[in-house]
Structure 1
Amino acid sequence: MAETIFDKIINREIPAEIIFEDDQVLAFKDINPQAPTHFLVIPKKQIATINDIEPEDAALIGQLYLAAASIAKQLGVAESGYRTVMNCNPDGGQTVYHIHLHVLAGKPMGWPPYQNTMKQQLP
């Protein structure tokens, strides 16, 4: 697989505001935040899309969510609530082909996220 911007962050080739790291997972603040609190949680193992997750990656994917919950608690947003999102491929909004969990918090989140767009598409 081609190296992504996330591989460069993992390897410290480009800067990021890292907020958590262990041997399997790295978390850092999103450079284009969509909420008052917006960070990404990524596996250090490169997996291009959700479709590329293998059964042996199940524990690693669980680690992403455990890290997200722990960080949300540390940042004081766990009790009020947060949203986790993982995009897959172009129509799903994926732009970096190294899976990453978006964690957004700090304001009420509506549903559906693209409500105005959805209304325009209805007959």
Structure 2
Amino acid sequence: MWRLNLIKEIADQANWIISSDVGIVIADKYPKAQHHYLVLPKSEISSIFELTREHLPLLEELHLLASNIVEVRGLQWADFKVGFHAEPSMERLHLHVISQDFVSPALKHKKHWNCFNTQLFVPYAVLHDKLKAENSFQRLPPHVRHSLLATPLLCNQCDFKPKYFPELKEHLAEHLQKKST
């Protein structure tokens, strides 16, 4: 079952880029940007819905691993989004560390875009604060998830509002090209 693929990925230490006593960093197998890493706990936690205040030290360690991978790669923290999907598709808790360029052949659908660029993506600090205050993170209602997935496309770097996804991808590639020159 594809939902369990992350568990298989972390079982093979050859996939580990960085590790600590409590967590592992791997490259996303289907990166949605130039740099896309996943930080996973070694403990078996299936998703954000299992987290409570007692997991805050673990989350802080995962966040530290996230900053370590950015530093090890010689990149700038400000160029990354770090957080969790509000509706995870894969088993095993995982923290996304993703560059904001979103230039990748694996970024194929509006759904991929909206999972990282709407409230379907929960920044690390938001989840941390919610757990601290409320001791849990609740699922979004189905109508809210569907609405967020249907959110009109909007560039994350300017005010461009493409009508079609291929236009957005082309536009994002132009941003990346300008940044690298």
2:117 to 105, 108, 113: 113
SS in 2 for 1:119: coil
**In the alignment, which residue of structure 2 is the partner of 1:11?**
11
User: Within 1, Cα distance between the matches of 2:152 and 2:6?
Assistant: 35
Checking the alignment, whether the CA contact within 8 Å between 2:45 and 2:93 is kept in structure 1 is yes
For residues 1-123 of structure 1, the aligned pairs below 5 Å read 4-12=4-12, 17-88=15-86, 92=87, 94-105=88-99, 107=101, 113=117, 117-119=150-152
User: Within 1, Cα distance between the matches of 2:35 and 2:61?
Assistant: 20
Q: Which one has the bigger helix percentage? A: 2
Amino acid at match of 2:33: A
SS in 1 for 2:151: helix
Percent of matched pairs sharing the same residue: 23
Q: Which runs of 5+ in 1 are unaligned?
A: none
Bigger relative contact order, structure 1 or 2 (CA pairs below 8 A, ≥6 apart): 1
User: Within 1, Cα distance between the matches of 2:62 and 2:70?
Assistant: 12
Supply the RMSD in Å over aligned alpha carbons. Answer: 3.1
Amino acid at match of 1:113: N
SS in 2 for 1:84: strand
Larger radius of gyration: 2
User: Within 2, Cα distance between the matches of 1:10 and 1:18?
Assistant: 7
Tell me the TM-score normalized by structure 1. 0.73
Count of aligned positions = 112
CA deviation profile, 1:39-82 (whole Å, cap 9, x unmatched): 10000111112121132211001111111011101112225520
